Amino acid sequence: VGADYLAVLDPAAPGGDASWREAAAGIRAVLRGERAEYHQECPCHAPSEPRWLLLRVTPLCGPRRGAVIAYRDVTAETLAITRLRDREARYRLSDEALRAVSQGVVITDPDHRIEWANDSFAAITGYTADEVVGRELELLQGPGSDPQAVEAIRQALAAGADYAGEVLHYRKSGEPFHDDLTISPVRDAHGRLSHFVSVVHDVTERQRAAAALVESDQRLRIALEATSDAYWDWDTVANQLYLSPRWYTMLGYPPEGHAQDLAWLRAHIHPDDQALVTETTRAAIESGTRFEVEARLKCANGTWRWTQSRGRVTTRDATGAAIRISGLNTDVHARKLAEDARAHLEAQLRQAQKMESVGRLAGGVAHDFNNMIGVILAYTEIALEQLDPTTPLHTDLVEVQNAAQRSAALTRQLLAFARRQVVTPTVLDPNAAVAHALTMLQRLIGENIHVAWQPTPTPWSIRIDPSQLDQVLTNLCVNARDAIKDVGTITIATANLVIDTAFCATCADATPGEFVRVTVTDDGEGMSPETLAHVFEPFFTTKAVGAGTGLGLATVYSAAQQNGGFITVETALGKGTSFHVHLPRHLGADAHAAATGPSPAARGTETVLLVEDEPAILHVLTRELERYGYRVLAASGPAEALRLAHAHREQIRLLLTDVIMPEMNGRDLANALKRDQPRLRALFMSGYPADVIATRGVIDPGVQLVPKPFTIANIVAKVRESLDRD
């Protein structure tokens, strides 16, 4: 042939160079007689795919030594042996690497038949490796498997492509399990598909946990929707605050339920409550305790709503810093309003108790005090009538009379504050009543202060005791005078006013309806908020010791309340003060009482039975009534009065009696006397407060009562008025 005996070999084939050198060395060894025979598989040149030849070298005998070289094509056998060796090596490495893996690993050939499975596959499916070798992975499918998933797996295998998805598979026992299956094709160095590696991952427990989590989330959502509480969760690291939809609807916002930041929440907390919320939260975070705080949150309509926030730190990092805080918000607005209302009622109760205490004090001393003042006034009046007004003694007695009248006024203030004074409401024209008092008020205030009068053109009628209205005007004007340091103006005005529910929301004492407002305004120094908070409290005064009793404004407040009205105040330091007294409109007969003084006393000749257990008053009244021409039967008690009446044969025209006496009250005495003298008329006197008198049945419609202390002129006029009644 003349060719190199190694020319048929292919050094460029994988391993060919080594095979070529080894073959050359083997042939030379045979030719030299060093080896009896040599054979080797070697790659050879081929026009298409690589070929393997089995080379056999046998020495020749003879003078020229040589060798017979024989070739046989062993390509198929060589490739098969190579694949087997590679497969065994691969399986050995895979088994060692995957034996401890929790996922099941299956290797299938290109025809999808299982060649190998690890121990985890057996643990998951219940099939041993021997039971699955040669079978297809479809053995794990069952009646519940998703046809679409099965078809997707089949198409991936047919195309030699990857597959990843969750499918329902079945164990050998028939028990279903959720398989998070992945299939990956493996190719050789020439790109040909050699096998598939499938990973079987049992995610049944994960599915159950996920389902349980979904169910738990649903239950939590249902619970949060069913309750009135709003859930919140604050991630302190990301500064994100999750607020449940209930949080928004509670405040009137559309239900959003998405994350906000802390700055957004702070903007919705009332400025007065922000420091409390911050400090409470900080202290709870540091101490690790549960916190609870009440604050006002801003509603969609701009109002503020009270909520109670409760929470605690739910997660901390390795250093102990809080990284997650969760809690609930509860709407407590109704409770807070109720607490405020209760606090207001308690304040009213305390005020009523103060009034009751003062009333008891006043009632306890009123009877004796009024009797003594009455005696002083009566004798002073008698003495003044007998003295020349130009004498010094007359001047001294006038001062005594003024002091007694001031003492009587103080007693009336105490009783008025406690709502225990005897009142006789009368339908009044407020303009006429105020106009009648203006002269007296100007004289009381002084010339350095101007009194301006601004009446409403068409005032509604009111029903009030004229003396109470005078008391209200006097106290307010005196208070205004004292607020003006030098010169100034006090303005008195009347107005018709309709009070609605919106106004009532700003004034706890107000009620809806039609009112006549009497306003007294001064341009004085005004009041501070601290003073305003106590302005109607009894005995509260900003005046020097001895300069005021602290009952003036308390009396005004009580008078307004007693007549179904209320009082409001507008004031500011340096801008003066306005007191607005609201009195309900009288809707009955529009008859105004004349705002005039008592009618002059008239003389008489009738017989009067006088009953009084205070000797001094009994004596002075007997003396003065006789001086005015009356015949007086004087008795120091009910028993003596009954004896005198039975012994007196002529008609007794009038019983003038005290109400509260040791043996019998005045009303019972009058009833006893009228059994024998039906035409007898009664005029009662009392220094006790109104509630004590009322229990004796005296303050009834048509009953005539003269409160003590009184002047002689007043009692004589009342006697004449009672005798002249039809």
175's tokens: 């028990």
Q: Are 194 and 185 in contact (CB under 8 A)?
A: no
Residue 423, pLDDT > 60, answer: no
d(CA 213, CA 190): 49
Give me the residue label for tokens 């409770």: 335
312, HSE (Cβ side, Cα atoms, 13 Å): 5
Provide the residue count of the chain. 726
Pairing of strands 631-635, 607-611: parallel
**Hey, what amino acid is at 450?**
H
Candidate from 400-404, 597-601, 666-670 with smallest mean pLDDT: 597-601
Q: Are 154 and 112 in contact (CB under 8 A)?
A: no
679's tokens: 């035409």
d(CA 98, CA 132): 17
**Hey, what amino acid is at 290?**
R
- The reported pLDDT for the residue numbered 422 is 54
Residue 95, pLDDT > 60, answer: no
d(CA 709, CA 616): 13
Candidate from 401-405, 421-425, 431-435, 704-708 with smallest mean pLDDT: 421-425
- The reported pLDDT for the residue numbered 410 is 64
428, HSE (Cβ side, Cα atoms, 13 Å): 25
- The reported pLDDT for the residue numbered 91 is 54
Q: Are 286 and 269 in contact (CB under 8 A)?
A: no
Q: Indicate if the alpha-carbon torsion angle 425, 430, 435, 439 is positive or negative.
A: positive
d(CA 326, CA 193): 56
Angle, helices 430-445/466-483, rounded to nearest 10 degrees: 40
Highest mean pLDDT among 1-15, 73-87, 543-557, 634-648: 634-648
Candidate from 194-198, 597-601, 659-663 with smallest mean pLDDT: 597-601
The alpha-helical segments, DSSP class H, found in 446-551 are 466-483, 501-504, 529-533
**Hey, what amino acid is at 103?**
Q
Phi/psi of residue 519, nearest 5 degrees: -115, 135
Q: Given its phi and psi angles, is residue 343 left (phi above 0), alpha (psi -120 to 50 degrees) or beta?
A: alpha
452's tokens: 């301006």
d(CA 489, CA 522): 6
Across residues 435-456, what is the average pLDDT? 85
Percent of the chain topping pLDDT 70: 77
Q: How would you label 138-167 residue by residue, b for 16+ Cβ within 10 Å and e otherwise?
A: eebbeeebeeebeeebeebbeeeeebeeeb
d(CA 29, CA 58): 11
- The reported pLDDT for the residue numbered 50 is 66
- The reported pLDDT for the residue numbered 631 is 94
Task: Give the pLDDT confidence of 510-540 residue by residue, as tens digits.
Answer: 889 999 999 999 988 888 887 787 777 766 6
Candidate from 52-66, 286-300, 413-427, 591-605 with smallest mean pLDDT: 591-605
Helix (H, G, I), strand (E, B) or coil at 197: strand
d(CA 169, CA 154): 15
- The reported pLDDT for the residue numbered 234 is 84
Candidate from 225-234, 276-285, 395-404, 651-660 with smallest mean pLDDT: 225-234
Kindly report the average pLDDT of the chain as a whole number.
79
- The reported pLDDT for the residue numbered 659 is 84
Task: Give the pLDDT confidence of 173-190 residue by residue, as tens digits.
Answer: 999 998 888 898 888 777
Task: Give the pLDDT confidence of 554-610 residue by residue, as tens digits.
Answer: 778 878 888 889 999 998 888 889 999 999 999 875 544 443 334 455 688 999 999
d(CA 281, CA 292): 8
d(CA 223, CA 213): 15
Higher pLDDT, residue 645 or 99: 645
Instruction: State the pLDDT confidence band at 429, using cuts at 50, 70 and 90.
Output: very high
For residue 519, the cross-strand partners are 493, 580
Mention every residue, 6+ apart, whose C-beta is less than 8 A from residue 573: 525, 526, 527, 528
Pairing of strands 193-200, 654-658: unpaired
Give me the residue label for tokens 């309340």: 561
Q: Are 227 and 245 in contact (CB under 8 A)?
A: no
Pairing of strands 566-571, 577-584: antiparallel
- The reported pLDDT for the residue numbered 15 is 61
- The reported pLDDT for the residue numbered 595 is 38
pTM (2 decimals)? 0.39
Residue 382, pLDDT > 70, answer: yes
Q: Tally Cβ neighbours within 10 Å of residue 714.
A: 17
